[in-house]
């Protein structure tokens, strides 16, 4: 039996930014190490907005907010998969979290941010991106 081939393509930064901006469900994962257990990373889902080249999300009191208050370095990942065609992509952003304090920017971000866990004490967090990489896996479907 002959195995069908997949191709892996490295995405340039411009394509990674485009995918972050146009990802339809705006759901990603943020990974960081918590103070209480520095031996194991924590990975949590977030709804995000990508505005002017920056990732934003809202969070309540808890580990993500504490990470932002410490300007902790994190990894943020977004992906999409087409299981039928065995095709997909992923984008990985590495950088530091911080609390966004500019009310005008917060208002602009909120137009694009649909947080699933909305509440009264939310803080707007931004990810200052230091490195942005991505990959696409192209399955054996049509056109490959």
Q: Is residue 44 part of a domain?
A: yes
Q: Is residue 143 part of a domain?
A: no
Q: Tens digits of per-residue pLDDT, 18-59?
A: 999 999 888 999 998 877 667 788 898 999 999 989 999 988
Question: 2 CB contacts (<8 Å, ≥6 apart)?
Answer: none
Q: Is residue 26 part of a domain?
A: yes
pLDDT at residue 2 is higher than 50: no
pTM for the complete prediction?
0.83
Q: Is residue 91 part of a domain?
A: yes
3-state secondary structure of 128: strand
Range of the domain at 80: 7-138
Q: CATH code at 105?
A: 2.30.110.10
51 alpha-carbon distance from chain centroid: 12
Element at 39 (helix H, strand E): none
Total domains in the fold of the chain: 1
Q: Is residue 124 part of a domain?
A: yes
Q: Tens digits of per-residue pLDDT, 112-133?
A: 787 666 666 788 899 999 999 9
Q: Is residue 144 part of a domain?
A: no
């Amino acid at each position: 039996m002959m195995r069908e081939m997949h191709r892996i393509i490295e995405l340039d930064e411009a394509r990674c930014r485009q995918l972050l901006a146009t990802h339809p469900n705006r759901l990603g994962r943020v990974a960081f190490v918590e103070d209480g257990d520095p031996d194991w990373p924590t990975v949590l889902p977030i709804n995000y907005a990508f505005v002017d080249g920056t990732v934003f999300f809202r969070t309540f009191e808890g580990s993500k907010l504490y990470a932002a208050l410490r300007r902790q370095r994190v990894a943020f990942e977004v992906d999409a998969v087409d299981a039928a065609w065995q095709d997909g992509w992923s984008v990985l952003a590495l950088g530091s979290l911080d609390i966004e304090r500019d009310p005008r920017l917060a208002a602009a971000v909120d137009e694009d941010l649909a947080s699933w866990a909305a509440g009264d004490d939310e803080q707007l967090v931004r990810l200052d991106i230091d490195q942005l990489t991505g990959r696409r896996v192209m399955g054996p479907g049509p056109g490959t």
